[in-house]
Amino acid sequence: MSHRSFVWLCLLPLAAVTAAFFLLPMARLVVTGAEGPQGLAGYLAILTEPRYRATLINTVLLAAATTVATLIIATIAGMFLQRHRFPGRAVLIAMLTFPLAFPGVVVGFLIILLAGRQGLIGDLSNRVLGEKLVFAYSIYGLFLGYLYFSIPRVILTIMAAVQKLDVGLEEAARSLGASPWAVQRDVVLPALAPAFVASGAIAFATAMGAFGTAFTLATNIDVLPMLIYTEFTLAANFSTSAALSVGLGIITWFILALARSFSGSAVAAAG
């Protein structure tokens, strides 16, 4: 068997899996989205229908806010944990990455225990202020839930990037009289830019498509995963739910592709 034939033979399983689990389902989803009363114009309803447009904006803004907050927290924590050794460091890193083992429903349940009607924050605020502070079921609770499962995904990438930084560049900047803030601003942060783009894109894509947490918490707000679920299961509006799914996928794919163009092959698909 020639080398070329062997390569094509090895590619057959990949081609079969790609066709069965990606190309055919996606093609069917696109066709279903155009089978509604509006036809292909049903895709434009995502932007023209006020409810769908507002939900899309809510989802994008929430995902963007989650990404920014995650990058700030994960960068500070990741740099500190990577460059300092202290008792309990391994346990702390394990705790920060532990949410990776939780499904979205469990994350939502934890937010309810923290900021729900019977949550810890409500009990403390009732004792101090005489009024329960409940925000688990609002945009703030959903933001906290998204932040909870985004930080572990980002902090590991940041820590790996910090480990590869050339410490000599920082020492050279200090020897030239640069202040600690100038070193971080002009040397460290630019060097970490590819890691920011890659991990930020994954955090954004994950927040865009997160369903379990939204299903548990999003009682007073609309996000695209919940809207798709209600259109599909409650209203049996298959064409609209398919069109919304395609729109969600296109936005997420665009962000990942854009990030890949800036950071090379470091960006992977989000789950």
Give the range of the structural domain holding residue 175, as residue numbers without chain letter: 45-263
Structure confidence at residue 71 as a pLDDT band (50, 70, 90): very high
Judgement on whether residues 133 and 20 belong to the same structural domain of the protein? no
Contact 24, 16 (CB under 8 A): no
- Kindly indicate the confidence band of residue 60, based on its pLDDT and cuts at 50, 70 and 90: very high
The pLDDT of residue 1 is 60
DSSP 4-46: HHHHHHHHHHHHHHHIIIIIHHHHHHHHHHTSSTTGGGGGTHH
Do residue 10 and residue 57 come from a single domain? Answer: no
What is the number of domains present in the chain?
Answer: 2
Q: Domain for residue 270, yes or no?
A: no
Highest mean pLDDT among 28-32, 67-71, 245-249: 67-71
pTM: 0.83
Residue 149 reports pLDDT greater than 80: yes
- Statement to judge: residues 28 and 49 lie in one domain: no
Task: Indicate which CATH number applies to the domain containing 247.
Answer: 1.10.3720.10
Task: Specify the higher pLDDT residue, 269 or 255.
Answer: 255
Q: With cut-offs at 50, 70 and 90, classify the pLDDT of residue 268.
A: very low
Give the tens place of pLDDT for each residue, 157-184: 899 898 888 888 888 888 888 888 888 8
**Which residue in 252, 231, 253 sits closest to 36, CA to CA?**
231
Q: Indicate if 54 and 102 belong to the same structural domain.
A: yes
Which structure tokens are listed for 92?
Answer: 């702390």
